């Protein structure tokens, strides 16, 4: 089946620093990728839709200047959390839309901001 990877799987950073998370579709091309956030014991909340070669579309309430998304190729989207603060600590999950119109999810990245 289709595989989506994320890197890193876990990152710890100091408050005020920036963190980049990568999402790759390994065996298919994805013109559209999505970024979700999941708090402990809660469901996934869509943050933004990432389209290759164009600007990301952010959901209401998500700060686009804080969560920078770049979809530079058909297999890679990146999420950069800028000037991270402890409240940004969360589990970030990406998904990639396969040509079959099915979304395949990455394993997630756990961000801890000290």
Partner 1 sequence: AQSVTQLDSHVSVSEGTPVLLRCNYSSSYSPSLFWYVQHPNKGLQLLLKYTSAATLVKGINGFEAEFKKSETSFHLTKPSAHMSDAAEYFCVVIGSNSGYALNFGKGTSLLVTP
Nearer Cβ to partner 1 (14/40)? 40
In the block, which residue shows the tokens 């920078």?
68
At its nearest, how many Å lie between partner 1 and the CB of residue 83? 26
The answer to the question of residue 77 lying near partner 1 (CB under 8 A) is: no
Between 34 and 67, whose beta carbon lies closer to partner 1?
34
What percent helix, strand, coil does the chain show, rounded to 5?
5, 55, 45
Site for partner 1 contains 103 (CB under 8 A): yes
* Tokens found for residue 37: 């956030």
Task: Output the six-digit token pair for 73.
Answer: 């190729």
Per-residue contact track with partner 1, 26 to 65, x per CB under 8 A?
------x-x-x-----xxxxx--x----------------
Taking a C-beta distance cutoff of 8 angstroms, is the pair 65, 82 a contact? yes
The answer to whether residues 84 and 113 touch, using CB atoms and an 8 Å cutoff, is yes
Distance of alpha carbon 63 from alpha carbon 66, whole angstroms: 5
Residue 67 contacts partner 1 per CB under 8 A: no
- 105 touches partner 1 by CB under 8 A: yes
List residues near partner 1 by CB under 8 A: 4, 32, 34, 36, 42-46, 49, 93, 95, 97, 101-108
């Amino acid at each position: 089946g289709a595989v989506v990877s994320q890197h890193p799987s876990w990152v710890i950073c100091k408050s005020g620093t920036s963190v980049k998370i990568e999402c790759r579709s390994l065996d298919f091309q994805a013109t559209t990728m999505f970024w979700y956030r999941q708090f402990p014991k809660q469901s996934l909340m869509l943050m933004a839709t990432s389209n290759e070669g164009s600007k990301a579309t952010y959901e209401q309430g998500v700060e686009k200047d804080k969560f920078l998304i770049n979809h530079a190729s058909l297999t890679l989207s990146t999420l950069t959390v800028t000037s991270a603060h402890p409240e940004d600590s969360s589990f970030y999950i990406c998904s990639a839309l396969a040509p079959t119109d099915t979304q395949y999810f990455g394993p997630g990245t756990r961000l801890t901001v000290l």
